Structure 1
Amino acid sequence: MQTWYVLLAIAAGAVLPLQVGVNSTLRQGIGSPVVAALISFAVGSACLLAYAIASRAAWPSAQMLGKLPAWAWIGGALGAYYVATAILVAPKLGAANLVCLTITAQLLASLLLDHYGLIGFAQHGINTARVAGALLLVAGTVMIVKY
């Protein structure tokens, strides 16, 4: 079962640069990174709605929604920021530079979230191996962005 999740994660990572390229093309065609991001989210929302209906996903009750912490509602805003920013900077940085920079930032932020067990993540302390891996990723990013 773990292998299935690993494959899903790899596939999700592989489609990110494709998404950026498609969204950048959309931006070029309509002229606005914000409107391109909005269109991207609208299409994505329609796909998720269709999947939720088709899979007969359980809808949350008002009581369930009311129990959520206030910060649980910002995920869509964070996604919108990422998509709009990627659409804006991808034509300037290129796919490899954008992906290297965002993955490095994701890893560094993830190490902190895991270390302190924040926002629902299990606590996994920072250790020498994790720091070494992060430094290798930073070094690789510098090599790709600089050369």
Structure 2
Amino acid sequence: MHYFFLLLAFLIGVTNTFQSGVNSQLRLATQNPILSSILSFATGLCVLLVCYLLFNKDAIPSFETFRSISWWKWLGGVFGAFYVLTVILIVKEIGPANLLCLIIAGQLVAGVLIDHFGWVGFAVHPMNIWRIFGIGLIILGGVLVLKN
């Protein structure tokens, strides 16, 4: 396994935690969770557009290509909006540690199920006792963090 990718995955977790706090502060500044979400996405869009312009060498796909994309493949943006908005709404109420414990538990359960069934184009990695045990440990860790 490439250590660089493992490091990037870890950094996603770190930045994800800071994103929760930054977006929560943006909500306080704007006094509106939906506007804060829009501003967060707009900032991200600007960064991605700059990256696209600097690093993309391929031609932009045709309009017909975009029209032919299955409806469910557009749900990533919906899920992202759900994530950002709900984090903005609840992080001040439950705190970042509790929030992240529950997010990680949900991600692991979903990840193991997606792996097991090969949903959304992933290769099948059957569920086994070790994966179930790992989920149990994550949930136990989450309970310990939530209770203390």
Query: Smaller-chain TM-score range?
Result: over 0.9
Match of 2:88 in 1: 87
> Following superposition of structure 1 onto structure 2, how do residues 46-125 of structure 1 map, counting pairs within 5 Å?
46-58=46-58, 59-125=60-126
Aligned length: 147
Question: What RMSD, in angstroms, separates the aligned Cα atoms of the two structures?
Answer: 1.2
Identity %: 39
Structure 1 position 102, deviation (Å)? 0.5
Moved over 3 A (4+): none
Unpaired stretches in structure 2, ≥5 consecutive residues: none
Q: CA shift at 1:55, angstroms?
A: 0.7
What's the offset of the Cα at 1:62? 3.0
Question: Aligned pair in 2 of structure 1 residues 81, 52: CA closer, same or farther (>3 Å)?
Answer: same
Shift of 1:123: 0.6
Q: In 2, distance between residues paired with 1:57 and 1:11?
A: 27
**1:57–1:102: structure 2 CA closer, same or farther, 3 Å change rule?**
farther
Aligned match of 2:8: 8
Bigger Cα displacement from structure 2, 46-55 vs 65-74: 65-74
TM-score, normalised by the number of residues in structure 1: 0.95
Q: TM-score, normalised by structure 2?
A: 0.94
Q: Following the alignment from structure 1 to structure 2, what is the Cα–Cα distance between the partners of residues 107 and 4?
A: 21
Report the AA paired with residue 118 of structure 2.
Answer: G
1:127 corresponding residue in structure 2: 128
Partner of 2:25: 25
Identify unmatched segments of 5+ residues in structure 1: none
C-alpha deviation, 1:32, in angstroms:
1.0
Offset of residue 36 of structure 1: 0.5
